[in-house]
Structure 1
Amino acid sequence: MTPAPLLAAGIATDIAAEGKSAAVTDWAARVGWLVGLLMFIALVYWLMREGWKWRATLQGDLPELPDAPEEPGPATLTMTGRYHGSTTAGQWLDRIVARGLGTRSRAELTLTDEGLDVVRPGADDFFVPAARLRGARLDKGIAGKVLTEGGLLVVTWEHGDRLIDSGFRSDRAAEHTEWVEALNSMIEKNTTEGAER
């Protein structure tokens, strides 16, 4: 007899001698672990949601966002892409969630002589008056979103007593440099005109 049939015969003999079959899966224990895991995931989600609401409460002093003027003038530049969030200027992890600024969404940006109009389908639109713009730069990350170097257009603006960085990514990333130049040129022009008055 070959070794394999001998081995199989030996195992069959051992099982018959013990008089019982192989252990059956303990479904109660598995279901218990699964329920425990689902409860843990629900707890983590609830804690994250409470943290988000707590942050919004702490930022409750942020004034209402300005609406776009009825006659904003001709568009200097337009862009479609994504809005990735806003943070306290210079602190790329200090996310601002009050007034809907924490909601990521699609975005359509229009730059006019009056300022920057941000239209967000599914979220609150906002407008940054030209006099409130403080700077623009290319960066790689903002509040939980990290891209390649220069993959994010970051616009710094003043709202109430806060300086805010808002991050945008165009559908055509090559546009970012043009936007930085146009925004910084507008800011420099407004600053010069303000100093002359």
Structure 2
Amino acid sequence: MTSALINLAVEEKSQAVTDWAARIGWVVGLLLFIALLYWLMREGWKWRGTLQGDLPELPAAPATAAEPRLTMAGRYHGSTTAGQWLDRIVARGLGTRSRAELTLTDQGVAVVRPGAQDFFIPADRVRGARLDKGIAGKVLTEGGLLVITWEHGDRQIDSGFRSDRAAEHPAWVEALTRPHHPNHDMEGAR
């Protein structure tokens, strides 16, 4: 019996030792690969901004604001060339997603973005509004995105917004696609 135990003890092998040098090499290689991909994406973003450098400065809201017709709190998801929902515009901060507060007045749409550049869409530059399901980098359910089409410089731009309360979107589309008459009561659309 003791010889059987001795034979059994001789036949057992110890566990293989982990090759730490190889593992560390793989981890370092993977981290370098991820860093390279991040750097390439960042350079692509900067290059896109350079190509769109002819975009004029964004309009600022008038110093004296008119009476608000509609307000909305939500998110700004980005801007694209009108009709080309994947052609993102990154120049002048339009590529920066952020929280946003929109205010519609007779003068236009004021977009206040904490942590990003605010901008103003003058009323005479608004070309339309619609409900859509996507804009570059963001796809939602049908009608989940308010897209305002406006003219800036020589470009038509689609800017995408999502309200914290999506039920507000149709009132915005209606208000932006038909002219406002001072005697029209917009209180019900708020």
Please, what TM-score do these two structures have when normalized by structure 2?
A: 0.89
Equivalent position of 2:30 in the other structure: 37
2:44 is paired with a residue whose SS is helix
Equivalent position of 2:170 in the other structure: 177
Whether the aligned pair in 2 keeps the contact of 1:81 and 1:171 (CA below 8 Å) is: yes
Structure 1 residues 75-133: Cα deviation after superposition (integer angstroms, max 9, x where no partner): 00000000000000000000000000000000000000000000000000000100000
Identity of aligned residues (%): 78
Question: In the superposition, relative to structure 1, how do residues 36 and 180 fare at CA in structure 2: closer, same or farther (>3 Å)?
Answer: same
1:10 CA drift (Å) = 7.1
Task: Give runs of aligned pairs for residues 85-100 of structure 1, distance below 5 A.
Answer: 85-100=78-93
Structure 1 residues 147-190: Cα deviation after superposition (integer angstroms, max 9, x where no partner): 01100000000000000000000000000011000110138x8x
Please, what TM-score do these two structures have when normalized by structure 1?
A: 0.86
Equivalent position of 1:194 in the other structure: none
2:179 is paired with a residue whose SS is helix
1:11 CA drift (Å) = 5.6
Question: In the superposition, relative to structure 1, how do residues 80 and 11 fare at CA in structure 2: closer, same or farther (>3 Å)?
Answer: farther
Structure 1 residues 36-65: Cα deviation after superposition (integer angstroms, max 9, x where no partner): 010001000000000000000000000000
Task: Give the number of the structure whose alpha-carbon radius of gyration is greater.
Answer: 1
Of 127, 131, 142, the match for 2:135: 142
- C-alpha distance in 2, partners of 1:11/1:61? 80
Equivalent position of 2:46 in the other structure: 53
Task: Give runs of aligned pairs for residues 157-176 of structure 1, distance below 5 A.
Answer: 157-176=150-169
1:90 is paired with a residue whose SS is coil
- C-alpha distance in 1, partners of 2:66/2:17? 75
1:14 CA drift (Å) = 1.2
- C-alpha distance in 2, partners of 1:139/1:9? 77
Question: In the superposition, relative to structure 1, how do residues 14 and 130 fare at CA in structure 2: closer, same or farther (>3 Å)?
Answer: same
* Structure 2 alignment gaps of length 5 or more: 182-190
* Letter paired with 2:117: D
Pair 1:156 & 2:149 matched:
yes
Select the structure that is richer in helix. Answer: 1
Equivalent position of 1:14 in the other structure: 11
* Structure 1 alignment gaps of length 5 or more: 1-5, 190-197
**Runs of 4+ in structure 1 displaced over 3 angstroms?**
8-13
Aligned pairs, number = 179
* Letter paired with 2:178: S
Question: In the superposition, relative to structure 1, how do residues 149 and 12 fare at CA in structure 2: closer, same or farther (>3 Å)?
Answer: farther
Of 50, 57, 76, the match for 2:69: 76
1:158 is paired with a residue whose SS is strand
Equivalent position of 2:94 in the other structure: 101
Equivalent position of 1:193 in the other structure: none
CA RMSD of aligned residues (A): 1.9
